[in-house]
Chain A
């Protein structure tokens, strides 16, 4: 069409394209710059921690209690405390969170009340963690008289990560195709059989990922456990869960006072001596590695469990 060609100003179009391409390039450069800042900051922090702290990493560091002498101080009470608190956190958040997620997705009627609960859960994920600490101080420590114990910390952090577990459970459940549900129902499955035999196993990778992401958030939380009154210096471990005498299991460790990694780190950073600063760096390094390891576990689990899930 010669008429159309005559109306089409090729030079102007080229100028426009060139101008747009410059903007494109400018944005790419900006994005890359932003990304580099994040990454460089993380690397710098990590390298700094390694330089400061790696000298302190030895088996003694893991098997010694905190001490007034920096070269003898270790993180035994802190890492054991963190470990047992995480066990309680998971024991609280997993059953409650998964059950809530299943209920909301599979059972709850679609009405205003359900919508209200959903909005609330999404908002809970954004509540500052210190608020959970205050809630726990009032409720668990004082009202229920649980003290500044492993149980209180586990309950508090369990509540804190509950929204994460619920949301990821719901997302995982929603990813199970309707076709599979209908196949089960069409064979005469009840709703619970459908959930138990299909929805739950097929959404397990997603649920586990959510649980681990939640736990890796909880492991570094300082504010709530400081608020409930975790001790900063402790020279004994919680009592063992298994005993020599019948009934061979003991739940005394739940009521034991404890300290945790972030508290230990915070405590050492606030000391003036540089030797304690090094201890803090070493402990922080251990905490970061714990978190990264949990994330790696989440990725691996998801990969392993999803291998057979094709639809």
Chain B
């Protein structure tokens, strides 16, 4: 949890994004119901809730991943600041959205290419091919993901040869390389051991100075450790949202309390 200092007034806190009356449908099946949720600028917001409640679905609305599959439908909007763009707008190109919001997946998914090419890919997609620029950006991103020291002598090796934890940090570096404004994490440590998990959590701590983070996690301790805000979801509804310590220790809703005491206490 962030700090013991008095918490700033939410009304004055700048927002990076805000879901407004968001509904989402997989074909006829509604997976998100009227969700309104602010994501504060350069803060970590955790999404918690039982399996199948719609956490991943919500996260994947932000970078329009649902557009890749037929039959999916959004209603409502996700406002993105400072330009007050509706990420879900029909006139907004999902490619552009994905360039501004990067995603890290549950299972590390490096490309079967070299470590260097993995990290450089986001830049290559943007048409950056100048070697000197790529070299600098790749180094910066790998340092940002606390992986540089482990891989600096083997950048041309296959990424699949790295350990699971290293692969996940590589995926974070890949996401960081093109300087996204917001990072979306979907259970980034669920496939990792406790030590690798601790290093990713440490990394999230460092990253939040520069970038807004929205993270889905099944691990209550993790939510408590890394996040400033927590949202509790249940069956597609947003049940409670607030400062993480409030949600964990002074939940307003009985359902939230039951879930957290069941999983945490």
Contacts and interface: CB of A to CB of B under 8 A. Distances in A.
B68 interface: yes
Contacts of A309: 112
B102 A187 contact: yes
A193 B125 contact: yes
A182 B158 contact: no
B109 A180 contact: yes
B95 A182 contact: no
B95 A188 contact: yes
B105 interface: yes
Contact of A187 (B70, B110, B178): B178
Given A182-B105, A309-B112, A310-B160, A188 B125 contact: yes
Interface residues of B, number: 27
Interface size class of A (residues with CB under 8 A): 20 to 34
Interface in B49-76: 63, 65, 68, 70
Given A179-B105, A179-B109, A202-B112, A187 B121 contact: yes
A174 to B, nearest CB: 16
Interface string B87-110: 000000001101100110101011
A181 B112 CA distance: 12
Contacts, number: 69
A183 B105 contact: yes
A100 B111 CA distance: 25
Nearest to A187: B122
B112 A182 contact: no
Contact of B102 (A110, A186, A193, A310): A186
Interface string A183-213: 1111111100100011000100000000000
Contact of B111 (A183, A185, A188, A193): A183
B65 A179 contact: no
Pick the most buried of A183, A193, A202: most chain B CB atoms within 10 A of its CB: A183
A59 B160 CA distance: 49
Contact of B99 (A180, A188, A197): A188
B186 to A, nearest CB: 10
Contacts of A181: 68
A188 B99 CA distance: 5
B174 interface: yes
A248 interface: no
6 contacts: A180-B111, A182-B68, A187-B99, A308-B158, A309-B112, A311-B109
Interface of A: 109-110, 177, 179-190, 193, 197-198, 202, 308-311
Interface of B: 63, 65, 68, 70, 95-96, 98-99, 102-103, 105, 107, 109-112, 121-122, 124-126, 158, 160, 171, 174-175, 178
